[in-house]
Structure 1
Amino acid sequence: MSVRRVVPVVRSEAVRETRAFYGLLGFEQVMDLGWIATFASPTVPAAQVSVMASDLTAPVAPDMSVEVDDVDAVYAAVRESGAEIVHPLRDEEWGVRRFFVRDPAGRVVNVLSHR
Structure 2
Amino acid sequence: MAVRRVVPNIRSEAAQESREFYGLLGFEEVMNHGWIMTLASPSSPAAQISVMTSDKTAPVAPDMSVEVDDVDAAYAVMRENGAEIIHPLQDEEWGVRRFFVRDPSGRVVNVLGHR
Give your verdict on TM over 0.5.
yes
In the alignment, which residue of structure 1 is the partner of 2:109?
109
In the alignment, which residue of structure 2 is the partner of 1:61?
61
Q: Quick one: which amino acid aligns to residue 81 of structure 2?
A: S
C-alpha distance in 1 between matches for 2:56 and 2:16: 17
Summarize deviations over 1:64-98 as a string: whole Å, max 9, x none. Answer: 00000000000000000001000000000000000
Q: Quick one: which amino acid aligns to residue 39 of structure 1?
A: L
What percentage of aligned pairs have identical amino acids?
Answer: 78
Moved >2 Å (runs of 4+): none
Summarize deviations over 1:37-87 as a string: whole Å, max 9, x none. Answer: 000010110000000011011000000000000000000000000010000
SS in structure 2 at match of 1:113: strand
For the pair 1:47 / 2:50, whether they are aligned, the reply is no
In the alignment, which residue of structure 2 is the partner of 1:88?
88
C-alpha displacement of 1:19: 1.2
C-alpha distance in 1 between matches for 2:41 and 2:13: 23
In the alignment, which residue of structure 1 is the partner of 2:13?
13
C-alpha distance in 2 between matches for 1:34 and 1:110: 18
Q: What RMSD over aligned residues (CA atoms) do the two structures have, in Å? A: 0.4
In the alignment, which residue of structure 2 is the partner of 1:74?
74
Q: Unpaired runs of 5+ in structure 2?
A: none
C-alpha displacement of 1:24: 1.0
Q: Quick one: which amino acid aligns to residue 53 of structure 2?
A: A
C-alpha distance in 2 between matches for 1:8 and 1:106: 15
TM-score, length-scaled by structure 2: 0.99
Q: Unpaired runs of 5+ in structure 1?
A: none
